[in-house]
Amino acid sequence: MDATGSALHSAFVGGFGPYLKAILDERGLPHLDDDTVQAATEWLDDELRTLLDQPFHLQDRSPLELVQQAMEGPTGALRAAGVKAPLRDPVSVAALPGDHYGLAPASSAALGEEAFHAHLAWGAAKASALAPLVTGGRPVLLLSGDLMDRSRFEEAVREVGLRLATSSDDGLRPLVAFVDLKHPDADDLIRTLAADGVEVIAYGPHVDSDALTRARTLGAQTVLARSRLMRAITDHLPRRT
């Protein structure tokens, strides 16, 4: 494990317990016994160490995914105690169906400032290590006004060693473009990029069938419901060969 991996491991494991206590308080849920919290923390410790000990190109999961999975134990304990789960919005349910109590963090920032900055530093190191992916500096383009979507894309793109641009004025032809059909400039951008031979992945609410059909007509190669894309952003990103 290199220095950035070690710092990430320390910050994530150190921030896990305090985050869990805080999110239980925020959700109005009962505190868990020390054994449950300790077991989840030890699981995260071991799994993160195993992941970060591998070379970057062999790391098939993200550190944040492991933090989210570490919530399975606490979630199971709450369910076993008969604690009623709060209502969750459909997007959250689709993204993390097993997260019944909404404990899993959507961003490393939830684990504290140290964890967030360690995650950024590790992501930058991974991006540098994976530079042999021939991109010529070309970015992944995202057109979306949704700040939560941007955060999810930033983490996903960073995990695979690429960079994200949120403006077509970046100056470089994007590797792939993700276009939120709710954005007012969506149609024009899809048309322009498709004509330039850029792979366009359009997404929107699954109930808006007219918008999804229109995106195909304008030239988008792939059209997905937002909930489906958010579950697996990295599946649609360029990979090392």
- What the chain holds in terms of domains, given with CATH numbers, is 3-128 (no CATH), 133-236 (3.40.50.2300)
What average pLDDT does range 123-143 have in this prediction? 72
The whole-angstrom separation of Cα 176 and Cα 139 is: 8
Comparing 208 with 66, the larger pLDDT belongs to 66
Computed over every residue of the chain, the mean pLDDT equals: 86
Tell me, what's the pLDDT at 201? 95
Comparing 37 with 136, the larger pLDDT belongs to 37
Residue 126 phi, psi dihedral angles, 5° rounding: -65, -40
Highest mean pLDDT: which of 65-79, 97-111, 167-181?
65-79
- pLDDT (tens digit per residue) in 38-92: 999 999 999 999 999 888 777 878 898 999 999 999 999 998 888 888 777 777 7
What average pLDDT does range 144-163 have in this prediction? 87
pTM: 0.57
Tell whether the model's pLDDT for residue 207 goes beyond 70: no
Tell whether the model's pLDDT for residue 134 goes beyond 60: no
Tell whether the model's pLDDT for residue 133 goes beyond 60: no
- pLDDT (tens digit per residue) in 160-173: 878 888 875 556 78
Tell whether the model's pLDDT for residue 27 goes beyond 60: yes
